[in-house]
Structure 1
Amino acid sequence: MSAPTFSPTDTARLPPALAQELARLNEAQRRAVTHPEGPLLVVAGPGTGKTQLLAARVAWLLLLPDARPQEILCLTYTDAAARNLRQRLLRFIGPEAHRVAIHTFHSLGQLLIQENGAALGRHDLEPASDLETEQVLREVLDQLPAGHPLRRDFGDVYYDLPYLKNLFQVMKREGWPPDLLRAELEAYRLGLPDDPTYQYKNPPRELREQGVQPGDVIGHRLREEEAHIERAAAAVGLFEAYQAGLAARRRFDYDDMLAWATRLLEGNEPLRLRYQERFQHFLVDEFQDTNGAQSRLLYLLASYWESPSLLAVGDDDQSIFRFQGASVANVQAFTKRFAQATVVVLEENYRSSGPVLLTAGALIARNRERLIGQVPGLSKALYARHPRFAALAELPQLRRYATPLHEAADVAAQLAARHQRGDWPAGGVGVIARNHGQLDTLALLLRAAGVPYVRRRPINVLDEPLALALHRVLSYLAPALRPDEQPAADAALFELLHLPALGVPPADMVRLAAGHQHHRRAAHAAGRPPQPWRAWAGRALDQVAQAAQVALGPEVGAGQLPALSEAGAAALGHVLALVDNWLQAAAALPLPGLLERVLLETLLPAALPTAQQPEHLLAVARTLLQWGRAETRRAPYTGPTELLRLWEGLAATREGLPLEQTTGEGEAGLELLTAHGAKGLEWEHVYLLGCQQHTWRRKTQNRGFRLPPALAALPGEASEAEEARRLFFVALTRAQAQLTLSWANLDETGKELTPCEFIAELEQDGLQPQTIVVPAEVLAAARRAELAPPPPPAPVLDAKLLDELLLDFTLSATTLSAYLACPVACYYEQILRAPVPRHEKHLFGSAAHQALEQFVRLAQQPGASFGTPDELAELFRRYFARARFELAPSLFQRLAQAGPQLLRAWWEQAPVPPRPAALVVEHVVRAVLPDGVRVVGKLDRLDLAADGRHAEVLDYKTGRFDLAKDKLRPAPPAAADAPLGAWLADARLRGGDYWRQAVFYRLLLTHDPDRRYEASTVSFEFLQPLREPGKAPRYERRRVTPTFGDEAVVRAQIAAVDAAIRRHEFSPGCGECRWCRLQAPAAS
């Protein structure tokens, strides 16, 4: 293969478009385009015109003798940039532009893999979706054996999943095989005792008295770090299982594309030479945003030539994607790798005014990670050349506000005034913030003022109201298709009937719930099983059709039904027929046909007439249908159950099912976006909001796995500050003429906020901040616009019907706490007894309680004694088996293994009571308090003293103690005088649920009419051990000894809640629970 030669011979006959473009270029740009040979680094600061430079360079290369379009490889950072570059090439060289290879780095890696599957030993490989990656990682965690450092049986069992994913990404990007990483972790562990970080420098006096000397190891700190290293090594050990899971699906993940492509070329010289013959000229855009793996692949392809035809365009001052592995060091490494490289700096800025450039330049000059410190004589000053803005003298403005609401209100008022006057700047206005959430209030105020704007932000389609409505439908169809899952189907049907798209009035839904509760009572009293919801709802409809207007009464056996409204009966009839139609479709049609029937025939037509953004609603529906079709192509027999499992997995990923939501029209002239999203864009006037320190320089706790310092030195504080300063610099340089920066002194709770350090630096450079006072009427209007409408009150039954339901009502600790948490949820779950899906925590806890109860009862039989831990474990298995059809198979399997281990380990360490007869289990107490309130409770266990009267109440908790501390917190004594509304609004004022339960049990025993037992304490026995790094597991039993003050608070709460329930007061709700969200609109 011969190296390319560089001698364009006939520049006089340039294509007209290229000749015109060359004439427009400044001297530095033209020098880069016509560079004769060898590597070239173009340092292109903001607004210096790099985009047209790349296209012109490709056209220039094609003037070379024997140069062919397919020999040119252009690498861009995004697909959009690749499309843009090809469009520019079409102007310069016509159809030949389609023969130029334009790729992102990852599409190039994918091309190499798919063209060389045989050489890799892998055929028919496809890139894995985010969902498939998530599924493989879940399977890896599901298969961990008991005792594995990363196995979690309770709570967030996939807690480590994102950290595993990140670890494997780093391993692939850095080329670290598992053996290397494990060896380095072990070397790090062995060196810990000699690390001064883990040695006493000046031990406290009490330790010196015990013989501890300076230089001795700090034992607890060393053990904690060793535990972190053990977890990291265990995580590294899962790498092969993850890769095997991908291989079994014939998939490769995002980082495999580059890692495999690089290994492919490194290990196969003939293949490498073939691609080096194929690609002889290289152009790389946004070079500062490349990571190490991308750079290695580029250099490998260009390695045939000592001085390759390689043009890299980038700006070290705009490297802002470190979170994706990008590093400013890649730009700096270019001149080290190619010492003979030419460096061209583009200094003429065609975007911004002189003051904007001077401000931004002075700020970024504080960074030390810059190319000018590496290349002697290099200057990166930017000179204003825009014909309209270059000579402007207006300085950037710094504005200080009281709170973020004051800030948003004032900016919205300025923009509204401009909109009303019609003096919108020709170059538009951009409002930039660090995060999307900082723009929410401003967007709301602009909508309220009628100011048009454009806002693009990535959304998760699965969170959209239309998708949530579809999820409700699928959540019913999946269990309804299987007879053994009837309880789940009942709960799902009740939620499904609340969909606004189906039109069943909420008041009729509560009438149905009340009627079904009465039916259940009557059926149980008659000794027969109650009917499922679907069958019973059909009976309700039949009776309405027969004009049966039977009042809900106490008669047993008649199965009386409440009267439905005429509209409710009609809607219910339509919905039940529709549900039956969906069930038939689910059984007969492929999944895409079912989704089309549900979405296109029912949910979408119901939502479109009131949708504020119909085009967005259609995009959501289209995305859902495309996803369903894609999953069916992957697995043809996918049905509602399988899609729901995929839905759960996809919802757990960072992006979910992504869709870019665009609010507003492109010609609005006003855009709202983040600093990262603003890169490459420009506006005549830029507002940079929310310049607080905690926003721009927030400290995040590293929850990932330990990496050995020998391989991965973490970026220091200074390096992180420079990364943030680069992002701030990018935001500043979006402005053409006017630049306004602002921040707030206080958050909405009154907590003091600090302006970010970059504001202080701008003040050092001479900018003076202004304190802005927002007019009271502007602020009042903003507060009104900001207030969300309260959640609708729960539709309450007719007073007579509800009174009849409450005839035998007795308050329990569960109902008391439920009401204080959310009256709406309490109404549905405790009063109406609406069907609810049982959570795995409830199913697991119920099986554990039943096993413990039966374990004691067996020991209390004549001649018996306490059984073995294995017998207790077997009892759990027996009771938990009933939950098999209510849980996903992987979750059921995990808990079915964890429960016996949990109870066995707890019983082995628990103090054994002296005799079984000293225990009372599942003790029911009904009492009447002095103020006449009836209360009831079931106590898990009483441990009796020798006199048989005094007892300690024991309540089992299957959750973790470290997550229950707030639940054990007592209410302040002054809470006894608080009104009910104050308790509902303030969780701290009402006290923790476990504390309230303990006081409630004490009151029960004190006021038990039979006065059978006395108890001064109530203990909570946590069956899960508390595990801390470097420490042995320990079990917690927390005693609560209620005081007279505690009893006064809980008695006041009991009286207030009981009275509120009997007055039919079930609002306001919390606004967050499933019941408060039940009547959310299907589209917005």
Structure 2
Amino acid sequence: MPCPARRQERGGGVRTLRDREELCTVLGVPFSDEQLDAITAPLEPAVIIAGAGTGKTTVMAARVVWLVGTGQVRPEEVLGLTFTRKAAAELAGRVASALENAGVLTGDDTEGAELILTYDSFAARLVSEFGLRIGLDTDPVMLTGASRYRLAARAVAAAPGPFQSISRLGHASIPERVLELDAQMQSHLVEPGDVVAFTRRAAASFDAAPLWRGKHTAAVSASLAALDERLELLTLVSDYQELKRGLGLVEYADQLRRAVQLARTAPAVGAAMRSRFKVVLLDEYQDTSAAQAILLRTLFSGDDPATGRGFPVMAVGDPHQAIYGWRGAAANNILDFPQLFPRTDGSPAPRLTLRTNRRSGQRILDVGNTVASSLDGGDGVKLVAPPSTPAGTVEAMRFGTQDEELDWLAGEVIQRRSEGTPWPDIAVLVRRNSTLADVFEAFRDRDIPTEIVGLGGLLHLPEVAPIVATLRILDDVAANPDVAAVLSGPRWRLGLADLEALGRRARDLVGDHRIAEAHGVLTDELAQVMTEADPAEVASLLDAVNNPGEATLSPSGRSRVTEFGRELAELRRHAHEPVVDLVRRIVSRLGLEVELLARDGGDTSQLARFITAISDYVDVDGDGSLSGLLAWLEAEDDHGVGLEQAVPSDEDSVKLLTIHRAKGLEWNTVFLPALGDGYFPAGDRGGIWPTRAASLPSPLRGDAQGIPQLEEYSKKGIDGFKADSKADHRASEDRLAYVALTRAKQVLVASMHAWPPGLKNQRKPSAYFTIIEQARTRAQVAQAQVPDTNPVPTTEISAHWPLQLDPSRVAERRVAADLVAEAGRLLDDGSTTEAHDEWVWQSGTAGPADAALLRGWDEDANLLIEQQSRRRARRVALPEGLSATALMAMHRDPSAFAQQLLRRMPRRPSAAATLGTRFHDWVQRRFDSTASFEELEPHRGAEPPGLTRLIQAFERGQFGQRSPRGVEVPFLLRWEDQVLRGRIDAVYDWDAQEFDHLVVDWKTSNQPADPLQLAVYRQAWAQAMGIDVARVGAGFYHVLADRLSLVEAPTSLIREALAVAEED
């Protein structure tokens, strides 16, 4: 029941809170005692351990109300930090709403507002406001998302080398490793030189390890090789960092590092923050990195009260939900908070707990508590549900094969929907992105509306996987697994014997003539070709495709391999096109859209989503690389690495996503499939730092005290370190399982299958499945029969070859082919349309009984076309960067622009566009002081007609002898959340009453002049120069007419143009 209210009002009807009961009343929330303890805690440091679903956001909002309502702080003296923009907006909204509903604001209070930011935004603001104190750039351009991978790929491509150790790695994997190592160094405030020095010392220690039979052990040799790789990666990391500095670009991690440097070297910054804010709330503190913790401690907790000790910082989080260690989070931060943020007297800050989960039933919470008990020895927070909450349902099912499990899962989802659960209240959570495609296909076959949340899951869909595989093949001649996957796929359907022959030919081409004796399974040659890693030594299947020689290929196999080689050669000629154009070309060449229209009733939505995601791959310098794109896709597949979590849409569909993406979300019904041992909990694919080059050595990490350490540089030391790291990884998997289990409100269903393809022994249920099975609601549930032997073929590659097609579809295609062939014969014979019609009806292909049916098909087709034309337009996400030209195109025709994003194809340049481009080039050379006289002369044999006339007109005109401030000036303009890029044709110093800078756009044709373009130029130049935009004029210069047309070009045009994108 709500608490009784006792309140006292002050002048103007503004309420002053006096006690906890009144707080409950004014907010209308029956807070528990533990919540009230946190809300009304004294103004001193404190940490709240808030279990899943315990209402931490509500508690933080109520604490602000309490502090403001009791007169301890004003709203603008509250600083709140969280991780994502979505979470920041939600917390800000909750706080503002709670303050308004409580009626505790004075008139003056309404003029200020509490500041709720992301941790990254806070660091950036510090640098922007105070960075000049130590000479930092206070207004850099942010580098985020896919742009990081593009720039890293550029740094790798430009590196002089030679690189002996990392040359064995795939092209696409190197940029990702560079970014991974760089991110870890930034997160733990480590310089490249420190890592180089440590790595060399470690190599010397390993080199001195005890020998076995006169040689290093395999473990020590692997460590020495990895250390050599790390040294080469560090060279690339330094190149990447230098490239960022040269381009004036920073990542959020760079800004964080600079903020720490600022806070450490300028104590006045911390004093200013403590003066400006009276209380700090830190949300999701378990996910902070070592660098973030150091920044916050430097600003808000000093060595004595004068430097911040005892400042009221309240951290809120749950160590059981610390699942972002791979992103730099230090899981021990929240546990160490009481010691690192002590009270004024130096004693540890108090620890408060929130145990009452207001989301899930108790049966579901009991399962989560059991998993969490392994993390804290059973002494941690145990979640409890309010007595009034239904206990919930917990179920577990075992199956023999994956097909059986997926078929049951689809049927169960349909059953839940028929019982009244809306599609969006159902979620399927998986450990790996690769599982999403299997579930999605099973649901699509049963017409279940399904949304894959995030890009990673799309990569394994049958319409997307061939595109990614083809991109890898074009990028890396050693992409043997992708070559084998494409050749054995449904398009080429190459048989096992032919794949074996290619494998033998590949090894023959590199001089290895070993012949396998085994046959009937994947042979040694093919298996080795598929797994070799060093491009200098690898036997490339592509080499065998291009030069099959006398390989014992079947006639049909040889024909298919030859055609496959031709197709790749054609695509390779376009490999340096913009990546979106290349992807569209691959889609067209593979016939994927046509196949989807035939197979899935025209559902190309997932393919469109993938292409839209790729269209966001817009380079900051206009030079996106294929290797960078593949590195980004690989990282998305591994984790979904975007700083912002993908958010499920409001579509009426079941949500399908990885557990990492599900954090912070909830559904009435949650399914957890594939809970077999080895799948979840998963093994540690990351490895340990002595044998993994991209890992930062643990002694250098900021959280070194809370993670395993290598005790001895020897095989014994490595074995012990592996065991400790394995246990540490298992703890991270337990935390991930806890997150998954606590997403369900009322129904939690787990399932697993015992026989994945290729296993000789049954896969055991995972520890998590066993816990759920023991807690299931119904003790007796009919389980599927699990056979004693694997009913799935030993390997996928030894299944029926060629792949079996749908017999009815084959028959339909043969009939269609016969019709086309006969129609072509009639047309070749000069037959008239009437003769063709007579053939259709009289040849027996369609008798009189079919005439009505055929006419009905015509009518249906026309109706479908009409419906398609009226179909509501799909919303298309804008790329993260837009050129000024693209902005104008979007403003003119948003629908056409969106379609172009989805179907980007190269456009043939017009004569006018070519002429304009050549003129711009000439003007740039004209005012380049290093250009020779020969360079200024047009090359008449190669230049378009009219260029000489334009040049002569320009030389005679008013700008011919006037020196510009700049020509073809590149810019990156940040406008709210959008980045606009382009080049300003020219900028002049201008002596006018209204302005003293003039941006000019050359007009070489009669095409319409859009002031939006000049609005972008004005704002970009003003931002670059740090001046008021009112001081920048704009005009179009019509070259042939020698006419300068000044226009207003207000910046409101930019806002309006981007608003059109939001509306459409």
Q: Which residue of the other structure, out of 426, 436, 440, is the alignment partner of 2:437?
A: 440
Partner of 1:188: 202
Distance 1:595 1:692, change over 3 A: closer
Distance 1:343 1:662, change over 3 A: closer
Where do residues 309-320 of structure 1 align in structure 2 (5 Å cutoff)? 309-320=312-323
Deviations 1:323-361 (A, max 9, x none): 112232111111222343222211222222222222321
Secondary structure at the counterpart of residue 49 of structure 2:
strand
Q: Indicate conservation of the 8 Å contact 1:397/1:769, yes or no.
A: no
Partner of 1:757: 767
Partner of 2:384: 383
Secondary structure at the counterpart of residue 103 of structure 1:
strand
Secondary structure at the counterpart of residue 421 of structure 2:
coil
Q: Which residue of the other structure, out of 161, 178, 182, is the alignment partner of 2:175?
A: 161
Q: CA deviation at 1:282?
A: 0.9
Q: Which residue of the other structure, out of 424, 428, 432, is the alignment partner of 1:431?
A: 428
Q: Which residue of the other structure, out of 358, 361, 376, is the alignment partner of 1:353?
A: 361
Partner of 1:114: 128
Are 2:34 and 1:28 equivalent residues in the alignment? yes
Q: CA deviation at 1:91?
A: 1.4
CA distance in 2, matches of 1:676, 1:191: 38
Partner of 2:351: 343
Secondary structure at the counterpart of residue 283 of structure 1:
strand
Amino acid in the other structure paired with 2:414: A
Secondary structure at the counterpart of residue 739 of structure 1:
strand
Amino acid in the other structure paired with 2:283: D
Rg comparison, structure with higher value: 1
CA distance in 2, matches of 1:80, 1:97: 24
Q: Indicate conservation of the 8 Å contact 1:185/1:229, yes or no.
A: yes
Partner of 1:263: 261
CA distance in 2, matches of 1:157, 1:78: 32
Partner of 2:141: 126
Q: TM-score, normalised by structure 2?
A: 0.52
Secondary structure at the counterpart of residue 57 of structure 1:
helix
CA distance in 2, matches of 1:398, 1:730: 18
Q: Indicate conservation of the 8 Å contact 1:117/1:125, yes or no.
A: no
Amino acid in the other structure paired with 1:358: D
Where do residues 615-1014 of structure 1 align in structure 2 (5 Å cutoff)? 631=619, 634=620, 654=636, 666-668=651-653, 670-699=654-683, 700=685, 702=687, 704-705=692-693, 707-708=696-697, 710-711=699-700, 713=708, 716-749=725-758, 751=760, 752-760=762-770, 772-773=783-784
Partner of 2:43: 37
Partner of 1:83: 89
Partner of 1:516: none
Distance 1:178 1:728, change over 3 A: same
Q: How many residue pairs end up in the alignment? A: 641
Q: Indicate conservation of the 8 Å contact 2:149/2:629, yes or no.
A: no
Amino acid in the other structure paired with 1:80: K
Distance 1:80 1:774, change over 3 A: farther
Distance 1:451 1:140, change over 3 A: closer
Partner of 2:67: 61
Distance 1:65 1:789, change over 3 A: farther
Q: CA deviation at 1:45?
A: 1.0
Deviations 1:975-1015 (A, max 9, x none): xxxxxxxxxxxxxxxxxxxxxxxxxxxxxxxxxxxxxxxxx
Secondary structure at the counterpart of residue 455 of structure 2:
strand
Q: Indicate conservation of the 8 Å contact 1:126/1:251, yes or no.
A: yes
CA distance in 2, matches of 1:89, 1:788: 59
Partner of 2:234: 236
Q: CA deviation at 1:266?
A: 0.9
Deviations 1:135-162 (A, max 9, x none): 443344334445444563x883454332
Distance 1:235 1:310, change over 3 A: same
Deviations 1:817-841 (A, max 9, x none): xxxxxxxxxxxxxxxxxxxxxxxxx
Are 2:115 and 1:101 equivalent residues in the alignment? yes
CA distance in 2, matches of 1:678, 1:131: 22
Q: CA deviation at 1:28?
A: 1.0
Q: Indicate conservation of the 8 Å contact 1:71/1:100, yes or no.
A: yes
CA distance in 2, matches of 1:608, 1:399: 33
Deviations 1:667-690 (A, max 9, x none): 45x433322222223333332211
Are 2:210 and 1:199 equivalent residues in the alignment? yes
Q: Indicate conservation of the 8 Å contact 1:453/1:665, yes or no.
A: no
CA distance in 1, matches of 2:624, 2:337: 49
- For structure 1, which segment, 303-312 or 760-769, has the greater mean C-alpha deviation from structure 2 after superposition? 760-769
Q: Indicate conservation of the 8 Å contact 1:433/1:688, yes or no.
A: yes
Secondary structure at the counterpart of residue 739 of structure 2:
helix
Deviations 1:900-935 (A, max 9, x none): xxxxxxxxxxxxxxxxxxxxxxxxxxxxxxxxxxxx
Secondary structure at the counterpart of residue 314 of structure 2:
strand
Amino acid in the other structure paired with 2:426: V
CA distance in 2, matches of 1:22, 1:297: 37
CA distance in 1, matches of 2:407, 2:466: 34
Q: CA deviation at 1:286?
A: 1.3
Which ranges of structure 1 fall in alignment gaps of 5 or more residues? 1-6, 373-378, 475-582, 802-1084
Q: CA deviation at 1:368?
A: 3.5
Q: TM-score, normalised by structure 1?
A: 0.51
Where do residues 541-580 of structure 1 align in structure 2 (5 Å cutoff)? none
CA distance in 2, matches of 1:445, 1:151: 40
Q: Indicate conservation of the 8 Å contact 2:433/2:456, yes or no.
A: no
Q: Indicate conservation of the 8 Å contact 1:73/1:281, yes or no.
A: yes
CA distance in 2, matches of 1:84, 1:787: 52
Distance 1:412 1:341, change over 3 A: same
Distance 1:604 1:442, change over 3 A: closer
Q: Indicate conservation of the 8 Å contact 2:681/2:766, yes or no.
A: yes
CA distance in 2, matches of 1:774, 1:97: 68
Which ranges of structure 2 fall in alignment gaps of 5 or more residues? 1-6, 101-108, 302-306, 472-573, 702-707, 710-723, 793-798, 825-1064
Q: CA deviation at 1:745?
A: 0.6
Distance 1:435 1:296, change over 3 A: same
Amino acid in the other structure paired with 2:382: A
Q: CA deviation at 1:240?
A: 3.2
Q: CA deviation at 1:74?
A: 0.9
- Of all paired residues, the percent bearing the same amino acid is 22
CA distance in 2, matches of 1:741, 1:464: 23
Q: Indicate conservation of the 8 Å contact 1:189/1:229, yes or no.
A: yes
Q: Indicate conservation of the 8 Å contact 1:604/1:621, yes or no.
A: no
Partner of 2:526: none
Q: CA deviation at 1:117?
A: 4.7
Deviations 1:1009-1068 (A, max 9, x none): xxxxxxxxxxxxxxxxxxxxxxxxxxxxxxxxxxxxxxxxxxxxxxxxxxxxxxxxxxxx
CA distance in 2, matches of 1:423, 1:266: 58
Q: CA deviation at 1:253?
A: 2.0
Partner of 1:170: 184
Q: CA deviation at 1:189?
A: 2.8
Q: Indicate conservation of the 8 Å contact 1:399/1:769, yes or no.
A: no
Distance 1:718 1:98, change over 3 A: farther
